[in-house]
């Protein structure tokens, strides 16, 4: 297929997943703000902005963190290229550009989300509840994924869509976890306290993984189990290893379809091998925040390799 088509499909997936991530971030922030703050910590809204890469933009526009302004900036603001509104609009525009590569159902799902967004934007802000907005985003993201799953041909386009989804999802899981650990915990004995566990529960809920976690692990929440679940457990739908394995799977299918292996497959395989060699202890030895930051950087590098290989039009 045209490199430009593959590029647009890849970005439909990344934009839709990013919209969902931002919605989940808002959910996390809203839930955490309902908990009493512990002394000596930055506000969670601040760490949320930083972990999601929105701190500079928000700071330039508004200055100090303020819940209502942050909600507006992350959901509606068109000046913010990562806002839910910006991501959904871009995804739909990507879809419009490559209509021929999508089924009617997938286009319908993208376009309906876009049209409803416009209606939402027209309503007075005071009447809009954040939890309903985040539900709305996740519902439409699910409809797009469902349409893709049910109707698209399993061709190279399908693979590029999935590569985009997995890359963005891995990146966003890492960022969501990093919200919790933006600042290194100053005292080791704080880990495992009641407040710490409440915050982890909030995080799991925001990832729709709270019950799944309890099914998989049982017993008490510990930071080791959380790290294992969200990073290393292949049963968790959004764990880092699931996402990297997903990228490997779909890159492998592309290589098979085209009859050639490239630097993209090699880079993805290296990332998977590294994760498979990890354990929760090793991750905490490195430092959770350091590990997550490193992962986010490697995922970005992999994205660049994928772009240069398949999406830039320079393939020979």
Partner 1 sequence: MTPCFNEMFQNDAVRPPYSGLQGWSADMPADRRLAKQAEAEALFRRIGITFAVYGEGGDPDRLIPFDMFPRVFTGAEWAKLERGIKQRARALNAFLVDVYGRGEIVRARRIPAKLVYQNAAYEKSVCGFVPPKGVYSHIVGVDIVRTGPGEFYVLEDNCRTPSGVSYMLESREMMMRMFPDLFRENRIQPIDSYPEKLRRTLASVAPAKCDHAPTVVILTPGHFNSAYYEHSFLADLMGVELVEGADLFVDGAFVYMRTTEGPKRVDVIYRRLDDAYIDPLCFRPDSMLGVPGLMDVYRSGGVSICSAPGAGVADDKAVYTYVPEMVRFYLGEEPILNNVPTWKCSDASDFKYVTENLAELVVKEVHGSGGYGMLVGPKSTKAQVEEFRTLIHANPSNYIAQPTLALSTTPTFVEEGIAPRHVDLRPYCLVGERIELVPGGLTRVALREGSLVVNSSQGGGVKDTWVLAE
Q: How far is CA 44 from CA 11, 56, 127, 219, in A?
A: 29, 16, 25, 27
**66 sits near partner 1 (criterion: CB under 8 A):** no
Among 69, 97, 216, 272, the residue binding partner 1 under the rule CB under 8 A is 97
- How many of the chain's residues bind partner 1 (CB under 8 A)? 27
Contact map string, positions 202 to 241, toward partner 1, x by CB under 8 A: ----------------------------------------
**119 sits near partner 1 (criterion: CB under 8 A):** no
Under a CB-based contact definition with an 8 Å cutoff, are residues 224 and 130 in contact?
no
Which range touches partner 1 (CB under 8 A), out of 74-82, 94-102, 165-173, 280-288?
94-102
Contacts of 75 (CB under 8 A, 6+ apart): 22, 23, 26, 83, 84, 85, 130, 133
Contacts of 70 (CB under 8 A, 6+ apart): 29, 45, 48, 49, 58
**45 sits near partner 1 (criterion: CB under 8 A):** no
- The nearer residue to partner 1, 93 or 196, going by C-beta atoms, is 93
State the Cα–Cα distance between residues 258 and 192, nearest whole angstrom. 50
- The nearer residue to partner 1, 254 or 296, going by C-beta atoms, is 254
Under DSSP, is residue 251 helix (H, G, I), strand (E, B) or coil?
helix
Question: Which pair of structure tokens corresponds to residue 12?
Answer: 């439909």
Among 112, 151, 222, 308, the residue binding partner 1 under the rule CB under 8 A is 112
Among 42, 99, 132, 154, the residue binding partner 1 under the rule CB under 8 A is 99
Q: How far is CA 105 from CA 150, 152, 287, in A?
A: 9, 9, 44
**158 sits near partner 1 (criterion: CB under 8 A):** no
Contacts of 215 (CB under 8 A, 6+ apart): none
State the Cα–Cα distance between residues 153 and 261, nearest whole angstrom. 22
**256 sits near partner 1 (criterion: CB under 8 A):** no
**314 sits near partner 1 (criterion: CB under 8 A):** yes
- The nearer residue to partner 1, 209 or 267, going by C-beta atoms, is 267
Q: How far is CA 278 from CA 272, 281, 286, in A?
A: 10, 8, 11
**35 sits near partner 1 (criterion: CB under 8 A):** no
**253 sits near partner 1 (criterion: CB under 8 A):** no
**306 sits near partner 1 (criterion: CB under 8 A):** no
Which range touches partner 1 (CB under 8 A), out of 30-38, 97-105, 122-130, 291-299?
97-105
**117 sits near partner 1 (criterion: CB under 8 A):** no
Give the sign of the dihedral formed by CA 221, CA 224, CA 227, CA 233.
negative
- The nearer residue to partner 1, 112 or 278, going by C-beta atoms, is 112
- The nearer residue to partner 1, 202 or 306, going by C-beta atoms, is 306
**100 sits near partner 1 (criterion: CB under 8 A):** yes
The one-character DSSP state at 190 is G
Q: Rg of the chain over CA atoms, in angstroms?
A: 20
Give the interface with partner 1 as residue ranges (CB under 8 A): 1-6, 93, 96-97, 99-100, 104, 107-108, 111-112, 115, 156, 160, 254, 258, 310-311, 313-316
């Amino acid at each position: 297929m045209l490199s430009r088509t593959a590029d647009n499909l890849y970005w439909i997936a990344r934009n839709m997943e990013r919209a969902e991530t931002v919605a989940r971030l808002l959910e996390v922030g809203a839930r955490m703000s309902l908990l009493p703050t512990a002394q000596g910590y930055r506000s969670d809204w601040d760490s949320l902005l930083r972990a999601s890469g929105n701190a500079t933009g928000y700071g330039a526009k508004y200055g100090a963190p303020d819940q209502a302004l942050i909600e507006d900036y992350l959901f509606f603001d068109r000046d913010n290229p990562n806002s839910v509104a910006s991501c959904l609009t871009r995804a739909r525009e990507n879809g419009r550009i490559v209509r021929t590569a999508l089924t009617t159902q997938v286009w319908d799902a993208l376009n309906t989300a876009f049209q409803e967004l416009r209606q939402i934007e027209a309503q007075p802000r005071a009447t809009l509840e954040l939890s309903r907005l985040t539900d709305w985003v996740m519902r439409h993201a699910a409809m797009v994924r469902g349409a893709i799953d049910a109707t698209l041909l399993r061709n190279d386009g399908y693979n590029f869509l999935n590569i985009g989804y997995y890359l963005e999802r891995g990146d966003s899981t890492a960022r969501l976890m990093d919200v919790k650990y933006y600042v290194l915990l100053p005292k080791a004995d704080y880990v495992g306290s009641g407040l710490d566990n409440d915050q982890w529960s909030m995080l799991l809920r925001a990832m729709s993984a709270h019950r799944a976690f309890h099914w998989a692990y049982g017993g008490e929440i510990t930071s080791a189990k959380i790290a294992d679940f969200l990073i290393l457990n292949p049963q968790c739908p959004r764990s880092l290893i699931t996402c990297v394995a997903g990228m490997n799977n779909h890159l492998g299918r592309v290589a098979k379809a085209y009859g050639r292996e490239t630097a993209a497959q090699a880079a993805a395989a290296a990332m998977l091998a590294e994760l498979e060699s990890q354990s929760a202890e090793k991750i905490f030895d490195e430092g959770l925040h350091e590990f997550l930051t490193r992962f986010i950087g490697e995922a970005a590098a992999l994205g660049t390799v994928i772009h240069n290989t398949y999406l830039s039009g320079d393939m020979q």
